[in-house]
Chains A and B, each alone.
Chain A
Amino acid sequence: MTATRNHASVTSEGVAPARGESGYMAAAFTPRVLAGAFGLVAVVVLAGEAWAQLNSGAGQAGIMTTLWKWTPLILFGPKGEFGGFVLNIVVSFLAMAIGTISGLVLGLGLISKFGPVRSVAWAITQFFRNSPWLVLLFFVMLLTPFQIRILGLSIPLPAWLKATVGLALPIMANIAEIVRGAVNSIPTGQWESAESLAFSRLQTLWRIILPQCVKRMIPPWMNWYAILTMATPLISIVGVNDAMTLTQDALASEQRTDLLMPMYALLLLFFFVYCYPIARWTIRLERKYAVRI
């Protein structure tokens, strides 16, 4: 049913693909998916509850109560501070923005007509695509100072910002590859006809090739966003108050082994609820744009 509607919108290619996507949230969280996700958490919580009943003494709060108590902290961070799951999302947004813009530039370097530019862009891309994210993260944390001085003004560089840059680097390299692949996938006839109309190379890229690439790049771009978001707990290792760090803090202050599984299950649920719709939406867009040409 949705497929036929997508076909209809494909024929008018320049039209913004706004139609039909408002309902994707509802479509992603079908009752079955919701039941599955919450069922999983419920099983973990109940198992923990049962185990607690067997082992613990009196005077302990129930697992649900405890989870509920910590939820605001894990989601929004300590009062008056920047942290929690919100920080993960902000870091993912920022890293994606930095990675996309720099990736676009790097990707254009990969298709440059000037050999040295192409070689340098290629080396950078390969390096950051094939390095473990965690190691890159440590590198950036250790390489950059905790504050910079500009005109006598010292600007502090908070750890989360440095971590964001660390995560943006591999994203940049992968976006560059997406750009290169998309540009190469445009038929050479487009270049030829633009050239014969006296468009310069830059004009051809900007006005003719890249606009056609956008649709092709969106699904893989969203895919990398989901991967990036799920990788944001890595920044907890370099001392940032993200949802992962706060979950561990909560566990440390509770000192209850029966909470381990339920707490991490809750954290998983947060990420799932955020990332699953993105994954569904990506698949939809992939199907939709696959029918083109």
Chain B
Amino acid sequence: MTNAWTPDQPIVSIKDVHKSFGPVEVLKGVSFNVRKGEVVCIIGPSGSGKSTLLRCINALVPIEKGSITVEGQEVHDAALDKLELRKKVGMVFQSYNLFPHKTALENVMMAPIHVLKRPREEVEAQARRLIKKVRLEGKEDAYPGELSGGQQQRVAIARSLAMNPDIMLFDEVTAALDPETVKEVLVTIRELAEEGMTCMLVTHEMGFAREVGDHIYFTDRGIIVEHGPPATFFSNASDPRTRAFLSQIL
């Protein structure tokens, strides 16, 4: 368990990752690195393996071949302590997945209290700060069913942040929202990025990716077709598949 990782090394390192669901190979050898504080956007057509890749990083989905390290720790390892890994990696989902039987505040407080065993008063103070941070002050006692989609998604972000993760994974977090509420969620994520949080986003929001992303990866049929910083990626895409995709979206 000696971990020689230092912050100047990639915080997430993905090497030749393969993953199949039955006969369908979703990831066919994906490799890239994410540095600490970097905001990485993964774009690409549906079914290209973007979401699966994110799920592999926090071991929600096991990989078959290759290597993923998070802060130097190998994820593709039968002896991996998944719970320890997930304490470092926060994840926000397209469908929010808030716990419907708990209020917004309780949703944020649950994991730090029960998983990290931190004292309740301290966790509550932090949870109230986080709810304020995602601009939901006054909604602490609302149940998820009483909140709009955008509000629920911001609670979900606060819930992940309450674990003080080093990396945040966002899996198409705005895909289920209407255009007006998309903005309020994106503002929250941008603030996080500006604070230096390492973020990996699977997204269809090209404008947002261009504005916030440090590096864009375009995936198609399980491989990374093209990547680069947003300035070059969006204006000088060289691969015909990327061009075709971008012309449809932009």
Q: Mark A6-32, 1 if CB is under 8 A from B, else 0.
A: 000011111000000000000000000
Select the stretch in A200-208, A220-228, A233-241 that faces chain B.
A200-208
Residue of A11, A194, A196 near B143 (CB, 8 A) is A11
- Is B111 interfacial (CB 8 A cutoff)? yes
Would A198 and B163 count as touching, CB distance under 8 A? yes
Residues of chain A lying within 8 A (CB to CB) of residue B159: 197
Q: How near does chain B come to A212, taking the closest CB pair, in angstroms?
A: 5
- Is A249 interfacial (CB 8 A cutoff)? no
A293 to B97, CA, bound (A): 12
- Is A53 interfacial (CB 8 A cutoff)? no
Q: Which residue of B lies closest to A207 (CB)?
A: B114
Would B143 and A13 count as touching, CB distance under 8 A? yes
Residue of B84, B87, B99, B100 near A293 (CB, 8 A) is B100
With A190-B97, A192-B97, A198-B115 as known contacts, state yes or no: A14 contacts B86, CB within 8 Å. no
With A13-B100, A14-B103 as known contacts, state yes or no: A196 contacts B58, CB within 8 Å. yes
A12 to B145, CA, bound (A): 8
- Is A195 interfacial (CB 8 A cutoff)? yes
- Is B230 interfacial (CB 8 A cutoff)? no
Would A196 and B86 count as touching, CB distance under 8 A? yes
Residues of chain A lying within 8 A (CB to CB) of residue B146: 11-12
- Is B52 interfacial (CB 8 A cutoff)? no
Would A193 and B143 count as touching, CB distance under 8 A? no
Would B86 and A12 count as touching, CB distance under 8 A? no
Would A212 and B101 count as touching, CB distance under 8 A? yes
- Is B208 interfacial (CB 8 A cutoff)? no
Would B114 and A199 count as touching, CB distance under 8 A? yes
Would A203 and B114 count as touching, CB distance under 8 A? yes
A189 to B92, CA, bound (A): 11
Q: How near does chain B come to A283, taking the closest CB pair, in angstroms?
A: 23
- Is A39 interfacial (CB 8 A cutoff)? no
Would B97 and A189 count as touching, CB distance under 8 A? yes
- Is B95 interfacial (CB 8 A cutoff)? yes
Would B160 and A197 count as touching, CB distance under 8 A? yes
Would A195 and B111 count as touching, CB distance under 8 A? no
- Is A145 interfacial (CB 8 A cutoff)? no
- Is B40 interfacial (CB 8 A cutoff)? no
With A197-B86, A197-B159 as known contacts, state yes or no: A212 contacts B143, CB within 8 Å. no
A187 to B143, CA, bound (A): 17
Residues of chain B lying within 8 A (CB to CB) of residue A293: 100
With A13-B145, A199-B115, A203-B115 as known contacts, state yes or no: A193 contacts B93, CB within 8 Å. yes
Would B60 and A207 count as touching, CB distance under 8 A? no
Would A196 and B100 count as touching, CB distance under 8 A? no
A187 to B159, CA, bound (A): 19
The winner among B93, B99, B103 for most chain A CB atoms within 10 A is B99
Would A192 and B60 count as touching, CB distance under 8 A? yes
Residues of chain A lying within 8 A (CB to CB) of residue B83: 198, 200
A189 to B60, CA, bound (A): 12
New contact pairs (20) apart from A193-B97, A197-B163, A208-B99, CB-CB < 8 Å: A12-B143, A12-B146, A13-B145, A14-B103, A187-B95, A187-B97, A192-B60, A193-B98, A193-B99, A194-B99, A195-B60, A195-B82, A195-B86, A197-B111, A197-B160, A199-B111, A200-B83, A212-B99, A212-B100, A212-B101
29 contacts between A and B (CB under 8 A): A13-B100, A14-B101, A14-B102, A14-B103, A187-B95, A187-B97, A189-B93, A189-B97, A192-B60, A192-B97, A193-B91, A193-B99, A193-B156, A195-B60, A195-B82, A195-B86, A196-B60, A196-B86, A197-B115, A197-B159, A197-B160, A197-B163, A198-B86, A198-B111, A198-B115, A199-B115, A203-B115, A207-B110, A211-B101
